[in-house]
Amino acid sequence: MTSNDARLRERAAAVVPGGMYGHLNTAIFTPGFPQFFERGDGCRQFDVDGREYLDFMCSWGPVVLGHRHPRVEEAVAAQQSRGDCLNGPGPIMVELAELLVDTVPSADWALFAKNGTDATTQALMVARAATGRATVLKAKGAYHGADPWCTPIPTGTTEANRADLIDFAYNDLASAEAAADAAAGDVAAIIVTPFKHDSFADQELAEGVFSRGLRALADRVGAVLILDDVRAGFRLDLRGSWETFGVRPDLTAWSKAIANGYPLAALTGTDALREAAASLYTTGSFWFSATPMAAAKATIETLRDEDGPARMARAGTLLRDGLREQADRHGLAIRQTGPVQIPWLAFAEDTSLERAACWTAACLELGVYVHPWHNWFLSTAHGDEDIAAALERTDIAFARTAARFGAA
Amino acid sequence: MTSNDARLRERAAAVVPGGMYGHLNTAIFTPGFPQFFERGDGCRQFDVDGREYLDFMCSWGPVVLGHRHPRVEEAVAAQQSRGDCLNGPGPIMVELAELLVDTVPSADWALFAKNGTDATTQALMVARAATGRATVLKAKGAYHGADPWCTPIPTGTTEANRADLIDFAYNDLASAEAAADAAAGDVAAIIVTPFKHDSFADQELAEGVFSRGLRALADRVGAVLILDDVRAGFRLDLRGSWETFGVRPDLTAWSKAIANGYPLAALTGTDALREAAASLYTTGSFWFSATPMAAAKATIETLRDEDGPARMARAGTLLRDGLREQADRHGLAIRQTGPVQIPWLAFAEDTSLERAACWTAACLELGVYVHPWHNWFLSTAHGDEDIAAALERTDIAFARTAARFGAA
């Protein structure tokens, strides 16, 4: 019998190039992923064939409190009943900007947009306006969005789109210093993610010497330090993901988890960059809509009131410890990298991802949604019992993987 | 007594650079505009001080059926109760792509995004991927969004951001041909709006010889013809704004009115460009969210079932005729330009916009929201009685303008 998913894929193939595109395109995953989804509830998602998943991707980050969170939905409904896209912002824009300034020590102001890419692109513009320079230093392979200047697959872009960018190696301060030297006084900005979360590779936490060194380097060459907290923001530390290092960026780009799935991005920055930020012209038809801002305020307040990062750390630690015990017991060598709230699991000696594909497919079949080559995401909706239920199934998936590939 | 708007402006000044930014920033309008809005209902908007406006800006385009349209809100509520931002799109993405392909003769496929700028930027990428060329021809002064390649105020951008662009003059086919010659075989695309809707200037409808000539020019040099229908789309002709000329673009960028205020953009294109479109990597965290797509399907179906463009044309014609009669009667020379659904009114001999500022301020005070230097927008919520009510007030505004400036 043809599944609903298969029927939708066939219809999509006729009216969407390639049938699907972007980061949710299952054609670029390993086999076994459903493409179309019907419903979300807490930490569970349901595909169009009624299959239920304990979800560890959280829609690739946005859903940080779980689907249909009452406090967020209530704020959304209240705002929607009054107005959303109007001739100007609502009071909620001011309230949300105030909340960000109160929450994030490096934030003296906020601008809002729709895509994470909007915020990282705006960040470059603010830095260039402030410094009158062009060059931006970035870590090789880091994802900063999908605008022509940063899309990881350069098809359809020109060399000019990627002009004035110099790569350094993540966690390698000397390479960043060399990049700055290469720019010979023209460094407008250093843009960096709070940890290394490149796809297909072990995640790497930032070293203190690297994060503090980038701060010092930016200061020394008169450049703007941009933290791209789009992926990690609001999961590790509500104050910003480098606050634990005592490193405060000049600009921070936010999106994904900011509004529990409602479309919003933000750029926050320091007083020193306020005038430069005010000198730009960036805008969008829906950037001032009130509903996603109401969702963001409710989301951030809930994360604050419930100590969301700590709850996610608890769930992520239970998951990591459980997976470790299971893999050891099945004689499978794995690496778990990144912060526990944004984890990833890789199998040793698995460069062609055969073990990962096998394990992931088994997890999906058993109703656990994980990804073979992109980091996962926890939410505050993942309770102890959800992690326990997921681990019952991952244990079976490990058994199947061990049966096929033997002890690693 | 301090108004709510003034109090919010003061708070915003502390936490938003310049207090506000982008196209809804009243600092770049003439005096008298409220900055913050509370509520929308049909063709009416209410500011934070409870003042009611008959609205002729429609949130700068998005609101095409009026605020809180029952059919759209019902579709949104139904989708939201199931899920919005999930691990994949919902069936609604396929349904919406099918609807666009059915509605727009030049559309064989659709991609979705959030900002109009996303769609115009994607269009350039598809054209460059398809042709292997870099140069894009565009009309001087035309607005195609606010990415670094197209923002009208280049602060914070680099020369490289605007590389490979050559200007021509709108409605001047010879200048477009000269631009193509200057590119010497490297023309990837010609991007053009369906009519000239630059700010601060009379709007100009496209001439048939120009639109058909651009189509022939694109074919002759092997370039992609991109219609930027972000601003005009779904108000003039649901099939695309150049269908009346018999001109079918290779790519069309859509946003604004596509979902009655919910955040969505689309790029549609022909079979010949399907493979190129599938070869790109563009994406965004919220691009596959189901709710705005549900809103878009309900919006387009409603516009189709109610012949929305004709309804807006009726309202726009009543407005234009009424304003003409009033201005004549008050001895004020005005020019009304652009399609009646997307009108603009300018006073003669008013290069410093003194008359426009006076008239607009009077309109605002009397509860009619219009703009002095940006085109306006009609919606299907503007009934005959709303136009009549607006005209009662514009008559008073003309009287005040005539009293101050005399007969022009």
The H or E element that residue B336 is part of is: strand B334-337
**Rounded CA gap, B282 and A106, in Å?**
30
SS3 A308: helix
Inform me whether the C-beta atom of residue A37 falls under 8 Å from chain B C-beta atoms.
yes
CA nearest neighbour of B261 among A286, A36, A69: A286
**Rounded CA gap, A93 and B9, in Å?**
11
CB burial of A210-226 (b: ≥16 within 10 Å; e: otherwise) equals bbbbbbebbeebebbbb
Closest residue in A to B76 (Cα–Cα): A80
CA nearest neighbour of A39 among A29, A31, A27, A49: A49
**Rounded CA gap, B184 and A113, in Å?**
38
pLDDT by residue for chain A (408 residues), tens only, comes to 799 999 999 999 999 999 999 999 999 999 999 999 999 999 999 999 999 999 999 999 999 999 999 999 999 999 999 999 999 999 999 999 999 999 999 999 999 999 999 999 999 999 999 999 999 999 999 999 999 999 999 999 999 999 999 999 999 999 999 999 999 899 999 999 999 999 999 999 999 999 999 999 999 999 999 999 999 999 999 999 999 999 999 999 999 999 999 999 999 999 999 999 999 999 999 999 999 999 999 999 999 999 999 999 999 999 999 999 999 999 999 999 999 999 999 999 999 999 999 999 999 999 999 999 999 999 999 999 999 999 999 999 999 999 999 864
CA nearest neighbour of A277 among B153, B14, B155: B155
- State the distance between the two ends of chain B, measured CA to CA, in whole angstroms: 37
Q: What is the pLDDT of residue A406?
A: 81
CA nearest neighbour of A387 among A408, A363, A374, A368: A368
pLDDT band at B408 (very low <50, low <70, confident <90, very high): very low
**Rounded CA gap, A103 and A310, in Å?**
16
Q: Which residues pair with B39 in a beta bridge?
A: B46
**Rounded CA gap, B351 and A205, in Å?**
58
- Give how far Cα A404 sits from Cα of A293, A348, A357, A358, Å: 49, 15, 12, 9
- CA-CA-CA-CA dihedral for B289, B295, B301, B306, to nearest 10: -160
Q: What is the pLDDT of residue B407?
A: 63
With a CB cutoff of 8 Å and minimum separation 6, the contacts of A187 are A131, A133, A135, A136, A137, A180, A218, A221, A222, A223
Q: Provide the residue ranges of all domains of chain B, joining segments of one domain with +.
A: 4-60+307-405, 70-305
Q: In the predicted model, what is the mean pLDDT of residues B98-121?
A: 98
For chain A, give the longest Cα–Cα distance: 65
Q: What is the DSSP string of B279-318?
A: T-----TTTT-HHHHHHHHHHHHHHHHTTHHHHHHHHHHH
**Rounded CA gap, A64 and A308, in Å?**
9
Q: How many helices (H) and strands (E) does chain A have?
A: 11, 15
Do the beta carbons of residue A75 and residue A294 sit within 8 Å? yes
| Best mutation target, B7, B85, B122, to test chain A (most A CBs within 10 A) | B85
Q: How many CA atoms lie within 13 A of A101 on its CB side?
A: 20
Give me the residue label for tokens 């463009």: B309
Q: In the predicted model, what is the mean pLDDT of residues B354-361?
A: 98
Closest residue in A to B131 (Cα–Cα): A156
Q: What is the CA radius of gyration of chain B?
A: 21
User: Are A288 and B22 a contacting pair at CB < 8 A?
Assistant: yes
Size of interface A-B (CB pairs under 8 A): 349
**Rounded CA gap, A253 and A267, in Å?**
5
**Rounded CA gap, A18 and A36, in Å?**
15
Angle between helices B70-82 and B290-305 (to 10 degrees): 150
With a CB cutoff of 8 Å and minimum separation 6, the contacts of A102 are none
Q: In the predicted model, what is the mean pLDDT of residues B383-402?
A: 98
CA A392 centroid distance within chain? 27
**Rounded CA gap, B391 and B19, in Å?**
33
| Tokens coding B351 | 């290069």
Residues in chain A: 408
CA A6 centroid distance within chain? 29
CA nearest neighbour of A126 among B145, B11, B26, B148: B148
Phi, psi of A301 (to 5 degrees): -65, -40
Give me the residue label for tokens 């009131």: A305
Phi, psi of A116 (to 5 degrees): -55, -40
The domains spanning A4-60+307-405 and A70-305 adopt the same CATH topology: no
Angle between helices B208-221 and B173-182 (to 10 degrees): 20
**Rounded CA gap, B6 and A373, in Å?**
51
- Give how far Cα A113 sits from Cα of A110, A248, A262, B263, Å: 10, 22, 12, 11
Phi, psi of A230 (to 5 degrees): -60, -45
Q: How many CA atoms lie within 13 A of B129 on its CB side?
A: 23
- CB-CB neighbors (< 8 A) of A258 in chain B: none
Q: What is the pLDDT of residue B1?
A: 72
Q: Kindly report, residue by residue over B165-184, the tens digit of the pLDDT.
A: 999 999 999 999 999 999 98
Phi, psi of A189 (to 5 degrees): -155, 155
Inform me whether the C-beta atom of residue B79 falls under 8 Å from chain A C-beta atoms.
no
| Tokens coding A15 | 């009216």
| Tokens coding A62 | 């946005």
Q: In the predicted model, what is the mean pLDDT of residues B160-166?
A: 97
Pairing of strands B52-55, A165-168: unpaired
Q: Which residues pair with B190 in a beta bridge?
A: B137, B225
CATH of domain A4-60+307-405: 3.90.1150.10
CA B154 centroid distance within chain? 21
Q: What is the pLDDT of residue A408?
A: 47
Q: Kindly report, residue by residue over B71-96, the tens digit of the pLDDT.
A: 999 999 999 999 999 999 999 999 99
Q: Which residues pair with A46 in a beta bridge?
A: A39, A52
Do the beta carbons of residue B106 and residue B252 sit within 8 Å? yes
Q: List the single residue in A37, A118, A284 with the smallest CB-CB distance to B86.
A: A37
Q: Kindly report, residue by residue over B372-390, the tens digit of the pLDDT.
A: 999 999 999 999 999 999 9
Q: List the single residue in B26, B114, B369 with the smallest CB-CB distance to A114.
A: B114
**Rounded CA gap, A98 and B15, in Å?**
6
Q: List the single residue in A18, A37, A262 with the smallest CB-CB distance to B88.
A: A37
Of the candidate CATH numbers 3.40.640.10, 1.20.120.1200, 3.30.420.40, 3.40.30.10, the domain formed by A70-305 belongs to 3.40.640.10
CA A230 centroid distance within chain? 5
- CA-CA-CA-CA dihedral for B374, B380, B385, B390, to nearest 10: -10
- On the question of pLDDT at B359 being above 60, the answer is yes
Inform me whether the C-beta atom of residue A157 falls under 8 Å from chain B C-beta atoms.
yes
User: Are B128 and A280 a contacting pair at CB < 8 A?
Assistant: no
Pairing of strands B187-192, B135-139: parallel
Closest residue in A to B265 (Cα–Cα): A285
- CB-CB neighbors (< 8 A) of B62 in chain A: 85, 285-286
Pairing of strands B204-205, A165-168: unpaired
Closest residue in A to B263 (Cα–Cα): A286
Beta strands in A162-282, from DSSP E residues, in sequence order: 165-168, 187-192, 195-196, 204-205, 224-228, 251-254, 265-269
| Tokens coding B278 | 């599938």
User: To the nearest whole angstrom, how far is the Cα of B87 from the nearest Cα of chain A?
Assistant: 4
Q: Which residues pair with B347 in a beta bridge?
A: B334
Inform me whether the C-beta atom of residue A277 falls under 8 Å from chain B C-beta atoms.
yes
Q: List the single residue in B111, B126, B164 with the smallest CB-CB distance to A158.
A: B164
